[in-house]
Amino acid sequence: MPAIKQKSRLLSLPQAAEELGTTVNTIRAWIYRRKIDFVKIGRSVRVSEETVQRIIDRGSRPALEDRA
C-alpha cells in the first residue's frame, strides 16, 4: 500500500484543464496514455494540484537575455 503523501487538493478534470489552459479531452488522453498521475475514487477521476503544478514547472522555459 503506497504511503500517504502531503495533502494536495484534488481537481476535477474540468478544473485541471482550466488551470492548464487546455481541454478536458486532452487531460483524458494524458490519463489514458498514463502521461500524468491521477487518482481514481470509485468512478471519479481526479488530478492533484501538485501534478498540475509539476506539468507547468516541467514546461516552463526561462526567457533569453536581450542580445542587442
Q: Which segments within the chain are labelled E, that is strand? A: 10-11, 39-41, 44-48
Residue 58 C-alpha from the chain's centroid: 11
pTM exceeds 0.85: no
4-42 residue pLDDT tens: 556 789 999 999 999 999 999 999 999 999 999 999 999
More confident residue, 50 or 64: 50
